[in-house]
Structure 1
Amino acid sequence: MGYSEVVCHLCSVSFNIGRIRTKAEPRDAAWRSADWCESEGTFVMGDGFSYRGCGGETGCFVVLRTEEKMGEGRGKEVDGAEVATWEGEEEDGDDSGEFVDEIEGGEEEVLEYEEEEGDGEGGSDVEMRDVEEEEVEEEKYCEDYLTLLRNLRAMNDRPQTPKPEIFYPINLEAGDVFESTLWEREKAKYGADDESRGVSLVGVEHIAGPKCFDDRGYNGHNISAEEMKGCTTYQFLAYKSSDWHPESDDEEWEESSQVFLTGIGDRFPSRDMASPEVIPVRHGWNEGDSDSWNGGGNDRSVAMPFHPTCFDIFTRLSKQHLGKIDVHGLMEWRNSKFADVGRAFSCDPNVEKGRDQWWAHHAGAEYLAANPLYIPGLGSIFEAARTVDSSFSPRNSAFSPLAATSSILREIGAAREDPFLALPQELREHIVDHLDSKEIATLRLASRAFHELPISLWYKLLRIEMPWLWEVYSDHKPSFWTALEVLDLKREAKAKEAWTEKMDLKRYFISCEMPEILGEWEKDQPRFAGIEAVGKAYRMAEGVGKMVEREGTNWYLLYKGIRMAKLKGLRNRERIWRDIGKIVEQIRILREEGKIAE
């Protein structure tokens, strides 16, 4: 079978989104799509650039990527044992040095073995030789470990200066000759001995120019890595097993529902490659059947995939229109539409255009990968509309009064036949309440009677025209799952594993050499302090769950700021809001028709 892609069941966009960085961006701003490994450290390859149409006129480049091998680039061989440093170990403090001092301080203590007195048979020469050999072996092992720690400390103190990258403009005319020349130049730059020092050349990376044609990733000139955060993250709703039990981090609805939330994963493997894995393991579920369509199996055995941010938008709309977070209705709707393998649930034409064997990253459709909750630039628009002026009131006019110039007076005189001028201000405002923003703008041009309108009018327009701008009217706080990052969880798990191994090794040597102090030493040891991925996610989620203050906001400035900014994340939020709104409406209809049983 060929590659077969799974998409978000709520927004119809792939989890396997790629990004091609620009020359000005770091390496971690690039990642590859259509893969079965995590996105960290990957990139869109440039060795096939001649088939992508990019060249001098697109402004694209290539660069040869290198990597330092674990245990070679930052390690050293100690008595035949390969030693490697772990990323982030410096942050733990100089623990290795302290432990070296602890052990070295105890080396002067001599363990004496006295021959037992008795009938002469209790302390033979053979037994003494065995004891002496064991002492020598233990001392050598301990000395090897001390040497290892000294080398680790030295390597941690050694500054790591990466070599600057050299970007080569793509030369289509030279073709393969150009590509092979790149390799030779890069090898010459690094030197022949770099392989022995752990530096390896891993591939040619495509670097996006302003007019890059490559559809294997979105152009970094058109959307930032920050805007795309979370676009490769997936999560599932899975049916409970018979032995399901509540856990401390369950959402309120999980205990009474037939389904529960799994952990999260980064980029979805092809249907024919492997089952998607998640972290952390919740309710015993770390991998299993999950898809956006059913090939004929039992619906209850297949978990439903989605972006955590998309599920948050579902919870908002479900509470708003159905009065609760109707996950049961969502799964029943999913099951009723499960055989529609070929169609996208989204009405956005760019979604259908992007759906191919691999997701096609077309220019102009970058907003499909923009995070709809955590939107760079949105907070500054809210802040700019906030006012602390004591004289401010939403009843104030959004516009300055007309100056009484001669030309204005003539216009007013000519407009005395305008019937709207005879209406009281309250009635004029009642008229505009029934108009949209474009109609109001036209009316203001046609009649001076509508020149001054209250700021509060634009609050109503925001509620009506942009219901997806929930910061205006809702204090709903998104789940921490929407901000949790898979790479943070994996890095934290890796750091904890390395820390645990180091502590176990310390504990072993102390138990061997100074067992009498082991208990006190263990009491004084700090607990593992990781990056606190979950705590970081909670703080981020709380930061975007704040409702805009109604009385202290200039709603006209906010409306204008939103319209002018054209934020990609907000455009994607609008798209997802509309699509999920239709799903919620279908759930409502299914319930009215009695097709969803409680």
Structure 2
Amino acid sequence: MGYSEIICQICGVTFAIARIRTPQEPPTAAWDNHGTTGGGFVMCWAPDEDDFDDENSDGNVSGGCMIAVRADRDHEDGDLLALSQHPEEEMYPEDMRGVSKQDRAKILKRLGDLEKKYCLEHVAGPECGAGDGYHGDRISVEEMRTCSTMQGLVAKPPNWEPEDGDEDFERSGQYFLSGLVDSITNVDGLYSESSYPKRHGCDNTLPVTRHRDIAEDRYHVDFYSIPIHPACLESFKRATLRRYDRVDVGAFIQWWEVDSDEKSPVPIEDEDVRAGRSQWWQHFQGSEYLAANPCFVPNLDKGFLPMAPHTAGHEELFSSLPSEIRSLIFNHLSLEDISNLLLASPLSNRPSQNELRRRLILEWPWLWEAWSKLEYSVWVGPTARDLRESVKPPGKQIIVSDTDVVNWGSVFRWITKQRSNGELKGLKNRQRIWKRCEEMLDIVDTLRKYAGIGEETPVLLDG
């Protein structure tokens, strides 16, 4: 059987995502499709003189890209054009047509000799079009740092016992969470890595994307797991909280067990996911947001600004209108119109801000900072390496403790502006994942209705 990548069963994106760093970034900012902590990188090969022939200028050249040597710098030719900003490595331009023939000959010889013993790394220039990884200028390490970290939902064995740190759905349902795995790629090669920490006696689960009985019959394993990104599970939790007024992880399990088939249980209606899904993930420009953590979104906290202090005697636009009339007016306006209206009257009274927040929640339910105080799971931010090395990952959860002090017009305008500039990629990914979760829950609602389960019956199936 050939190579086939493992995908998150909630967001539909592979765990085998690579990143190509820029010359300004350190070597740790690059990784290949074996994960963020595997120590790999997107490789390249040494060019030869024919690549820089004026009549053959389309050879091994690209938009300002570089070649980094992952080797010691101890060599005799100390006058070589080593351009790296990092003292532990040397770096050369991939396109050397602007380099003198004498220097170019030295560099090519050096690269050719090193290539026999060491690996050469492709480093992205401003116009890099390589599809082997996402361009470092287009998505940050902080946004991508957990894109290759997998967690498994594992079916409980008969002798399962609760442990400290279990979540409510683990205690009450039929599945529990494994530890984290940072490097997971190949389904058909039965590739697996020990998860960390070991939970409930399980530290080496096989991630499967097929129905339970198929997994048990085909792989003959004691533990198998449903592969997910921890942040995607948090997104699903909030989708159920919004719909059912409770967290219902069992809804995902029910969808997975009923809707799965021999190909994949994950629908691929997302245009960008469909375009990227192949035997190897296609890192095409514009789809970088698919690798961004939907929970920890860098700089999102800057949008949640407090209200300006009220100035006594200020005549506000809506202060004399009854709340019913104000609501009727807002119901006929878009979010942008409401925001602009409040901007024209910056000290608008509290009810007007409440109306805008209500509309934000209605039209942007995925902006859960506006309505939920549910804390993230401990699994969302770190990688397995972070846990092993007791490293505190960057980022913190945004919890709005008092919605009455937030300027919701500023929240809307700031998020809209940042997204129009290509920022807040994690929030864009969150919106996409939310839509997928809603589609899953639509299927679950139909299944439960068909099974005769009333809406008021609190049922947590397999979760």
TM over 0.5: yes
Is the Cα contact below 8 Å between 2:143 and 2:297 reproduced in 1? yes
Q: 1:426 to 1:257 in 2, by over 3 A?
A: closer
Provide the residue aligned with 1:42 in structure 2: 40
Is the Cα contact below 8 Å between 1:329 and 1:587 reproduced in 2? yes
* 1:340 Cα deviation from its structure 2 partner: 5.0
Provide the residue aligned with 1:11 in structure 2: 11
Is the Cα contact below 8 Å between 1:279 and 1:486 reproduced in 2? yes
* 1:428 Cα deviation from its structure 2 partner: 5.1
Provide the residue aligned with 1:30 in structure 2: 30
* 1:245 Cα deviation from its structure 2 partner: 1.3
Is the Cα contact below 8 Å between 2:210 and 2:264 reproduced in 1? no
* 1:248 Cα deviation from its structure 2 partner: 1.0
Provide the residue aligned with 2:415 in structure 1: 562
* 1:187 Cα deviation from its structure 2 partner: 8.7
Provide the residue aligned with 1:348 in structure 2: 270
Provide the residue aligned with 2:152 in structure 1: 236
For the residue of structure 2 that corresponds to 1:264, the secondary structure is strand
* 1:66 Cα deviation from its structure 2 partner: 2.0
Is the Cα contact below 8 Å between 1:397 and 1:455 reproduced in 2? no
Is the Cα contact below 8 Å between 1:5 and 1:271 reproduced in 2? yes
Q: 1:181 to 1:304 in 2, by over 3 A?
A: farther
The structure 1 residue matched to 2:172, chosen from 256, 263, 285, is: 256
1:547 pairs with 2:430: no
Q: 1:443 to 1:209 in 2, by over 3 A?
A: closer
* 1:481 Cα deviation from its structure 2 partner: 0.4
Structure 1 residues 480-489 or 315-324, which shifts more? 315-324
Is the Cα contact below 8 Å between 2:32 and 2:40 reproduced in 1? yes
Provide the residue aligned with 1:381 in structure 2: 303
Is the Cα contact below 8 Å between 2:297 and 2:427 reproduced in 1? yes
* 1:460 Cα deviation from its structure 2 partner: 2.5
1:86-101 pair list within 5 angstroms: none
1:53-72 pair list within 5 angstroms: 58-66=63-71
* 1:163 Cα deviation from its structure 2 partner: 3.7
For the residue of structure 2 that corresponds to 1:31, the secondary structure is coil
- Residue 39 of structure 2 aligns with an amino acid whose one-letter code is G
For the residue of structure 2 that corresponds to 1:305, the secondary structure is strand
1:571-586 pair list within 5 angstroms: 571-586=428-443
TM norm structure 1 = 0.62
Identity of aligned residues (%): 31
* 1:475 Cα deviation from its structure 2 partner: 0.6
Provide the residue aligned with 1:335 in structure 2: 257
Is the Cα contact below 8 Å between 2:238 and 2:368 reproduced in 1? no
Q: 1:548 to 1:558 in 2, by over 3 A?
A: farther
Provide the residue aligned with 1:169 in structure 2: 94
Could you tell me how far apart the structure 1 residues matched to 2:273 and 2:126 are? 23
Superposed CA deviations along residues 304-348 of structure 1, whole A, max 9, x for unmatched, are 110000001111122332343333332222111221515742432
Could you tell me how far apart the structure 2 residues matched to 1:279 and 1:211 are? 39
* 1:65 Cα deviation from its structure 2 partner: 1.4
1:459 pairs with 2:357: yes
Provide the residue aligned with 2:76 in structure 1: none
- Residue 212 of structure 1 aligns with an amino acid whose one-letter code is C
Paired residues in the alignment total 414
TM norm structure 2 = 0.78
Provide the residue aligned with 1:433 in structure 2: 330
Is the Cα contact below 8 Å between 2:62 and 2:94 reproduced in 1? no
* 1:25 Cα deviation from its structure 2 partner: 0.6
- Residue 334 of structure 2 aligns with an amino acid whose one-letter code is S
For the residue of structure 2 that corresponds to 1:260, the secondary structure is strand
Q: 1:443 to 1:479 in 2, by over 3 A?
A: closer
Query: Which is helix-richer, 1 or 2?
Result: 1
Provide the residue aligned with 1:359 in structure 2: 281
1:587 pairs with 2:444: yes
Structure 1 residues 335-344 or 468-477, which shifts more? 335-344
Q: 1:290 to 1:392 in 2, by over 3 A?
A: farther
Provide the residue aligned with 2:78 in structure 1: none
Q: 1:57 to 1:31 in 2, by over 3 A?
A: closer
Is the Cα contact below 8 Å between 1:371 and 1:572 reproduced in 2? yes
The structure 1 residue matched to 2:118, chosen from 176, 183, 202, is: 202
- Residue 559 of structure 1 aligns with an amino acid whose one-letter code is F
Is the Cα contact below 8 Å between 2:19 and 2:133 reproduced in 1? yes
Is the Cα contact below 8 Å between 1:64 and 1:205 reproduced in 2? yes
Provide the residue aligned with 1:296 in structure 2: 214
* 1:473 Cα deviation from its structure 2 partner: 1.4
Q: 1:557 to 1:548 in 2, by over 3 A?
A: farther
Superposed CA deviations along residues 7-29 of structure 1, whole A, max 9, x for unmatched, are 00000001011000001111111
* 1:214 Cα deviation from its structure 2 partner: 0.9
For the residue of structure 1 that corresponds to 2:144, the secondary structure is coil
Q: 1:267 to 1:595 in 2, by over 3 A?
A: farther
Could you tell me how far apart the structure 1 residues matched to 2:312 and 2:437 are? 38
- Residue 10 of structure 1 aligns with an amino acid whose one-letter code is I
Q: 1:470 to 1:327 in 2, by over 3 A?
A: closer
Is the Cα contact below 8 Å between 2:339 and 2:409 reproduced in 1? no
Could you tell me how far apart the structure 2 residues matched to 1:305 and 1:44 are? 25
Could you tell me how far apart the structure 1 residues matched to 2:149 and 2:339 are? 45
- Residue 295 of structure 2 aligns with an amino acid whose one-letter code is L
Is the Cα contact below 8 Å between 1:54 and 1:214 reproduced in 2? no
5+ residue gaps, structure 1, are: 69-160, 191-199, 399-422, 493-531
Provide the residue aligned with 1:95 in structure 2: none
Is the Cα contact below 8 Å between 1:6 and 1:15 reproduced in 2? yes
1:280 pairs with 2:197: yes
1:382-421 pair list within 5 angstroms: 382=304, 385-387=305-307, 389-391=309-311
- Residue 361 of structure 1 aligns with an amino acid whose one-letter code is H
Is the Cα contact below 8 Å between 1:293 and 1:338 reproduced in 2? yes
- Residue 444 of structure 2 aligns with an amino acid whose one-letter code is I
Could you tell me how far apart the structure 2 residues matched to 1:213 and 1:595 are? 54
Provide the residue aligned with 1:185 in structure 2: 110
- Residue 11 of structure 1 aligns with an amino acid whose one-letter code is C
Is the Cα contact below 8 Å between 2:68 and 2:89 reproduced in 1? no
Provide the residue aligned with 1:502 in structure 2: none
Is the Cα contact below 8 Å between 2:62 and 2:128 reproduced in 1? no
* 1:424 Cα deviation from its structure 2 partner: 5.5
Is the Cα contact below 8 Å between 1:55 and 1:171 reproduced in 2? no
* 1:260 Cα deviation from its structure 2 partner: 0.4
Is the Cα contact below 8 Å between 2:259 and 2:265 reproduced in 1? no
Structure 1 residues 329-338 or 341-350, which shifts more? 341-350
Could you tell me how far apart the structure 2 residues matched to 1:396 and 1:54 are? 66
Could you tell me how far apart the structure 2 residues matched to 1:333 and 1:360 are? 27
Provide the residue aligned with 2:383 in structure 1: 485
* 1:258 Cα deviation from its structure 2 partner: 1.0
Could you tell me how far apart the structure 2 residues matched to 1:392 and 1:588 are? 51
RMSD: 3.8
Could you tell me how far apart the structure 1 residues matched to 2:38 and 2:245 are? 40
Could you tell me how far apart the structure 1 residues matched to 2:425 and 2:340 are? 31
* 1:547 Cα deviation from its structure 2 partner: 1.7
Could you tell me how far apart the structure 1 residues matched to 2:379 and 2:264 are? 29
Q: 1:235 to 1:164 in 2, by over 3 A?
A: closer
